[in-house]
Structure 1
Amino acid sequence: MALTEEQQRCRDIILSQDYGDFVVSYGGDIEVMAEIYNPSCYEKIDNNFVVIQRTLPESGQLNPDEYSYNLIPDLLGLLDTTSMEQSGILPVHYSPASGFRGSGIIVGVIDTGIDYTHPAFRFSDGNTRILSIWDQTIQTDQVPERFPFGTVYTRDDINAALQAEEPLDVVPSRDENGHGTFIAGIMAGTEDQANGFIGAAPEASIVAVKLKPAKQYLRDYYVIKEDAIAFQETDIMMAIEFLRSQSVRYQMPLVVCLGLGNTLDSHEGSSTLSQYLNVVNNITGICVVAAAGNELGKAHHYAGVVEGRDEFDTVELRVGEGEQGFQMEIWGSLSDVFSVEIISPEGERIARSQSRIGDSQRVNLFLEGTEIYLANRSAGLSGGQFLMVLQFRSPTPGIWTLRVYGDRILRGRFDIWLPMEKFIQDSTYFLNPDPDITLTSVATTNSIVVTSNYNHYNDRLYVNSSRGYTSSGVIKPDIAAPGVNVYGPEPGGRYGVRSGSSISAAHGAGAAALLMEWGLLRAIITNMDGNDIRRLLIQGAVQKGVDTYPNPGWGYGAMNLKNTFETLRIVR
């Protein structure tokens, strides 16, 4: 069906680099939202959030002073079979009392795409197990019902491609990176005895979304590395809504795996995406599983204390050679107000900043060629905390000193986060970092399942597995799952080995699909949602010898689905 004139107009705007995308919490009244923001186009997510497009300045650069913090979409990056045995998944596959393998459940992957030709996503007769692919990067008239861009390929389209001599001539959707293919395979790959592989939910149906790359104005705003893979929060929210629509269409429960993240925001689970995920995860028949992150040891988090008014804490930041820039954020209690003095490696000083909300300044260090933007921002949905945003462009390599002053102090605690790995140089980091609260922002979402990453060969946490808790003290991660040297499918029909917390999330999502099959399809828990899944996985978690549980690394312990079912007296 051809696009309407309005759909075509909005698709052109959504894809154009001349328009910015923004997330608005609108309270359900679209007309009031339209009067306030006057968008060029908009896409309703649910009754709480809408994505809007507005014209950017001729420079193509976003003026941050015009928008509150939460209106500007976050950028998320990638978070790169004995593992099934250690997770207690294989016994659940083969137990006579259960035999759960994910049948009747949709697993959704939102990532770099999927190699639909891989045997891991096909039945024994060669037909596909994929219900649909929404490729946001290919533009045709086969768009989703609610979002006028990208192309939806149905199961029939994919089967027709698989029967063709050149499948990609029929369905040209590819996974050039392989991350999405691997995650989908760990979640739900078909058993391949010849190659010694099986996914966690090998009979589940699959829906995949290939995200389009983030727009340049957001890459420029966050000053991320030119070669970094980055996706927009807005596109991820629309992707989840597409998965929900497929769940409704096929009348099947849905498990969503998010192997993406970033490290900015308050880390108390109050970001726009976190608020949205909490709503989705509370819907009967839906569970969201996210990766904790790979930030431990990256020295991207600093925790400090200022004892009183006009006292200060000294923060030292090493900036590596070739660093093009970065955004960092200072967060504190709403009862506290901080200001910052900055000293460059060459000794140039930026005087103590103003501390009123809405104040901003842009300073050029002409001798060094560095530009710094400082702003006390309105945090929007994160309005329960103090926020200062600092953006460095072309920073001089060396040691930068920040003096964080107390202007009004009741608690005095503050946290600073740098961008995630791959968004900045490895050689840019704090000299005295704090290892805790290194979760990605998504992983601080209260209600969803969050997995950290451990090595199932030696029962030790992965060296870079992010640590909790949230900044407000909520216990995250919930559990740990295998994510080191895990064997899974790669594009081109191959299998390979990868490590990363997204792989642990894929194990968790596959386990969630088996629990959905037990709880909903066998009418054990007729209103099962993601909170129920999280509780059951926590109940079955196994302690690995650490002194105290829960703890910031393991959460409540290592995931063991067999143990979960044993606590329910299902596996005998």
Structure 2
Amino acid sequence: MTLPDRSGTCRRAPCLAVFAAPDRAAGRGPCLGRVCVVERAVAGAVELLHPARYRLRLDRAAPLCGLDQVRLQPGHDGAGVWVAIVDTGIDWRHPDFRDQRGRTRVAWLLDQTMPATGVHADLEALGGGAVFSREQLQDDLEGRGTVWPAGRDRIGHGTHVAGIVASGDAVYRGAAPAVELVVVKAVDIDQGGFGEDDILRGLAFADTVARRAGRPLVVNLSLGNQLGAHDGSEPLELALADLARQEGRAVVVAAGNEGDSAIHARAALPAVRPLRLGLQLPAVNPGTEASVLVDVWADSADGLRLVVEDPAGGRTSEVSSAGPNQLTREDPTGVVTAACAGQAAPFNGLWRCQVEITDQGGLSPAAGVWVLEVAGSGTRLDAWIAEFELGGAWPGFVDHVDPTVLVGPPATAQGVLAVGSFTNRVDWQDIGGKQQRVEGRVGERSWFSVLGPTRDGRPKPELLAPGWLVASTLSADSDPRRPDSLFYSGGSLRLVLADGRHALAGGTSMAAPLVAGVAAQLLQRQPRLSGRQLARLLSLSASGDEETGRDLFRPDWGFGRLWVPAALAGVAGDRPVDDRRSLCGITQRWMPPAGDVVWACAVPRDAGGRPLGEGLEVEFSAPGLRWAGPVVDLGGGLYGRRVAEAPRRGRQVSISCSARGVTFAARPCLQGAASYQEAFAGGLRGGGCSSAPPPEHPAAGLPGLLVLLMVLAGPRSRDLSGSCSRCSWKRCSRCRKNLPSWE
């Protein structure tokens, strides 16, 4: 349970002290932005919380995002930029992480699973572990040091992620092969996830060493969870938002891998009776440790009241925001712990309750439908199955299921890039020379890639990048024949590639580092860009086609696929406006973050489809519409103007935009639904409008634009094994076998 520690005493250290602003946190301990890791209560903190735990989000990628078109050009390798990776460690001895002279490109290594050595005492106190410099690592490579086994990566996730960013291999080359790495090993093979306090310490360490060296820094976090309000208000997210506001800093986060699950429910809170949320728990083998944690958030005027009902009809006593705030009930159906916060959360004003159902004396929780009965006086309730361990089986809601709002913390932080996944390859030759193939099509959205937006209506994920079956560096310490390896496939070596030093893995974990490498290239050219500017630039230079849709943003595809040439050209000075490539249309709810309102939006672009950036004079014209305010420069090349009154559904709206004397107009737009959720649930097809886009690069034609209210097909489940009885994949969509504790 992660409800705030309202005792003010930090009863179980460490705790996270969250302050109103970064300047109020200075000097309070290891801090990143407004969040500090503390051992006891401190004065002035807005909240004092126990750290949450985050889990991992689990070649041919270059042509799919245009990376191959810029690799041979000078100044497109990330030189001079550092990338911080908080993960499972790194095989820093691997040749992929050495320069042409054989010197390591790992600038600093922090291993939080090892005790401090005392060599870098101040940095070790900050990072909470053993710190090793480039010089120490190089001495070890040359046989003069004793660094090993620091950073040892037995899972293989961190090494694979680092390779996608920075590998110098001639074949499996990273997105930015000249960057230098700051690696934080924050978890070992026998730990269930990353402590939020450890992540914050690691990021504070990375930020500090980069500042001392005067280097721009990109942070990659291929980890996350479903715990929190999904609106950027978690402590780690607040700290990341503070970091992303700074010049020369960017943050890239994996969006999440729960896109084919029923772990989110959304409903209105009835005023006259409690809301009943059904939660289906599967049968679990006797003796299996089992637990499920449900996180509930609502905008109620007078708090929440909660009762839990087991499949046999037994009911707990009521817990409520007014008290009692917590209870535990033990009986043969399982141990139920329920709690409600005694006051609204300070950074979003929402009320929160949690329910945890665990095994009782070796007996798994009763299989069947459990009911969470929630009462309050609000307008909206969201619940997420935030954590679960059920022997590989999955729970799911049976009522009010909503497939959207699944981009999980910390990817919902403001100013960070949340990255989803599309398919990178479907066939390959393994180390034994055997040709392997899985079902699917290159370029399609990965079935596991989560849908946005955020709970507070911001567009996430920003974009999708190659993430399913990406080839990258294989850690020498990660044996693919062991179940604890990222590359485990039923004991076979079919995910290991022919050279034996690289392997395939999939997930939004693999999509995020490719974008992090591109962000490093952008900082190489413009070191003073902030993370927010980079996020906007990469979003608005993403490509669209018939599959991703001609919308400016869609909850499944974000702003489109990563397209590197457009992003890099976006920092290359003034260019004329092209009326065929510029975007002009109407959007509701997701862009910009202003709730249930209608905006006209424009992205002036050049002939190559590249956003022309900030500071332009943009005008909107829409006969019959009244405007609620002036044109707003939203940053990164996006401009908007709020409509005073939302058009009726079914009404056609004609709109045109202009910049630098060039008018770019959309065809009449038909509004098909009041919101994406309504359209999705009703199976409607909303209309859209765009100028006719001529053919463009092989991956996708850069869009002309249409309205956002297009309805997409639902998440597709896919069984990659061919037979569940022989499933050896991490995530078979039917039997869910072999699902590890990371994703």
Pick the TM interval, shorter chain.
0.7 to 0.9
The residue number in structure 2 matching 1:461 is 445
Unmatched 5+ stretches in structure 1: 1-17, 35-41, 56-66, 214-225, 521-526
Moved more, 511-520 or 332-341: 332-341
**Contact 1:330/1:415 (<8 A) preserved:** yes
2:200 counterpart of 1:237 = yes
The DSSP-based 3-state class of the residue aligned with 2:29 is strand
CA distance in 2, matches of 1:421, 1:406: 25
CA distance in 1, matches of 2:444, 2:48: 37
CA distance in 1, matches of 2:119, 2:323: 44
The residue number in structure 1 matching 2:568 is 565
| CA 1:29–1:198: 2 relative to 1, 3 Å | closer
The residue number in structure 1 matching 2:236 is 273
- Letter of the 2:382 partner, please give it: D
The residue number in structure 2 matching 1:182 is 160
CA drift at 1:80: 1.1
The residue number in structure 2 matching 1:407 is 376
The residue number in structure 2 matching 1:222 is none
| CA 1:44–1:26: 2 relative to 1, 3 Å | farther
CA distance in 1, matches of 2:306, 2:200: 35
CA drift at 1:400: 3.0
The residue number in structure 1 matching 2:65 is 87
CA drift at 1:290: 0.5
The residue number in structure 2 matching 1:211 is 186
Q: Which of 441, 448, 468 pairs up with 1:484?
A: 468
- Letter of the 2:373 partner, please give it: V
The DSSP-based 3-state class of the residue aligned with 1:341 is strand
The residue number in structure 1 matching 2:337 is 372
CA drift at 1:69: 7.7
The residue number in structure 2 matching 1:360 is 325
2:141 counterpart of 1:158 = no
The DSSP-based 3-state class of the residue aligned with 1:400 is strand
The residue number in structure 1 matching 2:276 is 313
- Letter of the 1:117 partner, please give it: R
CA distance in 1, matches of 2:523, 2:373: 48
| CA 1:536–1:144: 2 relative to 1, 3 Å | farther
**Contact 1:233/1:273 (<8 A) preserved:** yes
**Contact 1:341/1:404 (<8 A) preserved:** yes
Q: Which of 415, 423, 426 pairs up with 1:447?
A: 415
| CA 1:69–1:249: 2 relative to 1, 3 Å | closer
The residue number in structure 2 matching 1:48 is 34
| CA 1:456–1:494: 2 relative to 1, 3 Å | closer
| CA 1:373–1:173: 2 relative to 1, 3 Å | same
CA drift at 1:103: 0.5
The DSSP-based 3-state class of the residue aligned with 1:419 is strand
TM (norm. structure 1) is 0.82
**Contact 2:293/2:385 (<8 A) preserved:** yes
2:178 counterpart of 1:199 = no
| CA 1:30–1:304: 2 relative to 1, 3 Å | closer
- Letter of the 2:321 partner, please give it: R
The residue number in structure 2 matching 1:505 is 512
2:17 counterpart of 1:24 = yes
| CA 1:188–1:266: 2 relative to 1, 3 Å | same
CA distance in 2, matches of 1:106, 1:169: 21
| CA 1:70–1:291: 2 relative to 1, 3 Å | farther
CA distance in 2, matches of 1:424, 1:436: 26
CA drift at 1:391: 1.8
The residue number in structure 1 matching 2:398 is 431
Moved more, 418-427 or 116-125: 418-427
The residue number in structure 2 matching 1:39 is none
| CA 1:405–1:326: 2 relative to 1, 3 Å | closer
CA distance in 2, matches of 1:91, 1:494: 26
What is the CA deviation profile of residues 476-531 of structure 1, one whole-angstrom value per residue up to 9, with x for unaligned ones? 111111101100001128100000101111011000000001112xxxxxx31111
- Letter of the 2:505 partner, please give it: R
Q: Give the number of equivalent residue pairs.
A: 510
What is the CA deviation profile of residues 311-338 of structure 1, one whole-angstrom value per residue up to 9, with x for unaligned ones? 4334233244145223211111143644
Which of the two has higher C-alpha Rg? 2
CA drift at 1:88: 1.7
- Letter of the 2:522 partner, please give it: L
CA distance in 1, matches of 2:344, 2:163: 38
**Contact 1:69/1:378 (<8 A) preserved:** no
| CA 1:282–1:370: 2 relative to 1, 3 Å | same
| CA 1:170–1:490: 2 relative to 1, 3 Å | closer
Moved more, 491-500 or 262-271: 491-500
**Contact 1:299/1:429 (<8 A) preserved:** yes
TM (norm. structure 2) is 0.64
CA drift at 1:419: 2.2
CA drift at 1:441: 1.3
The residue number in structure 2 matching 1:345 is 311
CA distance in 2, matches of 1:420, 1:327: 5
What is the CA deviation profile of residues 143-181 of structure 1, one whole-angstrom value per residue up to 9, with x for unaligned ones? 45255241111111111111119x766564311111111
Q: Which of 89, 97, 110 pairs up with 1:121?
A: 97
CA distance in 1, matches of 2:572, 2:30: 44
The residue number in structure 2 matching 1:77 is 55
Q: Superposition pairs for residues 497-536 of structure 1, below 5 Å?
A: 497-520=504-527, 527-536=528-537
What is the CA deviation profile of residues 231-256 of structure 1, one whole-angstrom value per residue up to 9, with x for unaligned ones? 11111111111111121121110000
Q: Percent identity?
A: 25
CA distance in 1, matches of 2:293, 2:469: 32
The DSSP-based 3-state class of the residue aligned with 1:197 is coil
CA distance in 1, matches of 2:83, 2:226: 26
**Contact 2:279/2:395 (<8 A) preserved:** no
Which gives a bigger RCO, structure 1 or 2 (Cα 8 Å, sep 6+)? Answer: 1
- Letter of the 1:287 partner, please give it: A
More helix by share: 1
| CA 1:440–1:168: 2 relative to 1, 3 Å | farther
CA drift at 1:52: 1.4
**Contact 2:218/2:252 (<8 A) preserved:** yes
The DSSP-based 3-state class of the residue aligned with 1:397 is coil
**Contact 1:21/1:54 (<8 A) preserved:** yes
The DSSP-based 3-state class of the residue aligned with 1:460 is coil
The residue number in structure 2 matching 1:13 is none
CA distance in 1, matches of 2:322, 2:47: 12
CA distance in 2, matches of 1:536, 1:246: 27
What is the CA deviation profile of residues 433-479 of structure 1, one whole-angstrom value per residue up to 9, with x for unaligned ones? 32111111111112111111111342111111111100011001111
CA distance in 2, matches of 1:381, 1:310: 27
The residue number in structure 1 matching 2:538 is 537
- Letter of the 2:180 partner, please give it: S
CA drift at 1:425: 4.4
**Contact 1:87/1:560 (<8 A) preserved:** yes
What is the CA deviation profile of residues 168-207 of structure 1, one whole-angstrom value per residue up to 9, with x for unaligned ones? 66564311111111111101111x22xx210000011111
Moved more, 179-188 or 379-388: 379-388
The DSSP-based 3-state class of the residue aligned with 1:81 is coil
Moved more, 440-449 or 380-389: 380-389
CA distance in 2, matches of 1:354, 1:422: 25
**Contact 1:161/1:171 (<8 A) preserved:** no
CA distance in 1, matches of 2:420, 2:207: 26
| CA 1:405–1:362: 2 relative to 1, 3 Å | closer
The DSSP-based 3-state class of the residue aligned with 1:326 is strand
The DSSP-based 3-state class of the residue aligned with 2:164 is helix
| CA 1:323–1:463: 2 relative to 1, 3 Å | farther
CA drift at 1:291: 0.7
The DSSP-based 3-state class of the residue aligned with 2:510 is helix
Moved more, 328-337 or 235-244: 328-337
2:123 counterpart of 1:130 = no
- Letter of the 2:461 partner, please give it: P
CA drift at 1:349: 1.7
CA distance in 1, matches of 2:141, 2:390: 37
